[in-house]
Amino acid sequence: MANWTLSSQNLREFLKIEQHFDVVIVEMVLCDFLIGVGQHFNAPVIGLSAFGASKWTTDLVGTPNFASYVPHTHNHFTDRMNFWQRMYNSLTYWVEDIITLYYYLPDQQKHMEILFPDAKNWPSLDEMRRNVSLVLLNTHTTIGTPRPYAPNMIEVGGMQIKKIVDPLPPKIQKFLDEAKSGAIFFSLGSNILLQMLPKPMFDAIVGAFSSYPDHRILIKSHENIIIPSHNESNVLIEPWFDQQSILAHENVKLFITHGGLLSTTEAVYFGKPVVGISCLFDQHLNMFLAEQKGFGLNVPIVSLTAENLATAVQKVLDDPSYTEQAKIISDRFRDQPLTPLETAMHWVKHVAKNKGAPHLKSVAVELPFYKLYNLDVWTFIVGVFALVLFGVIKLIRSIGSFIFKSFSQQKLKNA
């Protein structure tokens, strides 16, 4: 990602232009070196995370990561972990801390110095990371897990959702309006091409619709696909769909998705149950949380079989509780004082107006590791306790020795 950005001639030309900005917003996932853009323009930096909260972003503003109930982005856990999951989750965070400190940040520092030759005279990237003014997260509690945030870390998941969806093309509108038994929408997003999947996985997906021959099927695919169980008139295949407009249609009864955060958010917003075929990164976590919250089931791509997928589809379509729960969570998601985009705009303006909003910054970003976690305090307490315990044990031994010695002498005297 960094090399792709560095190779952009447009970016290099843009940076040569002398201009002023009130604030700079940069993507933070694996792109910390772009914080240098803020330094270059002498403007406060706002981080934007395509994920929810992660170590990449929480460390910027001092948001705590409690490994006991905050699952790492790459772990397939919910916030209710057993002992071994909590141990694995803790180790994941610790390993990431080590990798970040000794590999990732030095590497990002090098990339920043390539993009900005003057960066060698700037504060270190580590120091600049501690001066990030705000982080916007592409998530919401209703699709994630409740957790604490620093005051300058704001959830704005759903920014891409329109207040009024665009009208569907007449062809698709008619196709869905006539879906009296309901419609199933299938899309694995932009990262996964359906036709590139191994044949057993491809056949499993095609076969998952066989129990619902009367349901109309919409499939995002660049190539035509034959669904043996359906008449051609009941299947619509396009390389691109207006996903929000599709999900907003009342006849869509199920969304089969890869579980990306944008797709998950849109499914929640429009109250549609999901079956996930999670493939990578946060998709597994998103779909496991969908299972926990009761509006979907997950069939990870590594365990994708005809039986597993067909069973999941049948369960979600035939059990009304999934649709009911999807509508409940949709209502919770929509119950916000401002839309996600309006919330993001408010906080961006707040940072610009207050010259970086230093009043929002937590001192946690300045504390060294041992102070942040009170390791020095606990070391002192344990040390004092150990000394007191050692003194008590020594005293008891001395008293015991004295008593034993006195008893022995008395016994000899009596003898």
Give the tens place of pLDDT for each residue, 209-239.
888 989 999 999 888 888 888 888 899 999 9
Over the range 278-305, which residues count as b (16 or more CB within 10 Å of their CB) and which as e? bbebbbbbbbbbbeebbbbbbbbbeebe
CA separation for the pair 360, 337 (Å, rounded): 21
Residue 413 has pLDDT above 70, yes or no: no
Residue 407 has pLDDT above 80, yes or no: no
Residue 342 has pLDDT above 70, yes or no: yes
Return the pLDDT at 378. 92
Please state, rounded to an integer, the average pLDDT across all residues of the chain: 91
In angstroms, the Cα distances linking 194 to 38, 188, 233, 247 are 40, 7, 21, 20
CA separation for the pair 89, 72 (Å, rounded): 6
Task: Look at 88-97, 177-186, 401-410 and tell me which has the smallest mean pLDDT.
Answer: 401-410
CA separation for the pair 183, 249 (Å, rounded): 9
User: 94: which 2 tokens?
Assistant: 């610790």
Residue 409 has pLDDT above 90, yes or no: no
Residue 398 has pLDDT above 90, yes or no: no
Q: Using 50, 70 and 90 to split pLDDT, how confident is the model at 412?
A: low
Residue 404 has pLDDT above 90, yes or no: no
Residue 334 has pLDDT above 80, yes or no: yes
Greatest Cα-to-Cα distance within the chain, rounded to the nearest angstrom? 115
CA separation for the pair 235, 212 (Å, rounded): 12
Residue 410 has pLDDT above 70, yes or no: no
> What is the distance between the terminal CA atoms of the chain, rounded to a whole angstrom?
91
Q: Using 50, 70 and 90 to split pLDDT, how confident is the model at 145?
A: confident
Residue 152 has pLDDT above 70, yes or no: yes
What count of other Cβ atoms lies within 10 Å of the Cβ of residue 165?
Answer: 16
What count of other Cβ atoms lies within 10 Å of the Cβ of residue 262?
Answer: 19
Return the pLDDT at 104. 92
Burial class (CB in 10 A: 0-12, 13-18, 19+), 385: exposed
Return the pLDDT at 231. 86
Return the pLDDT at 368. 87
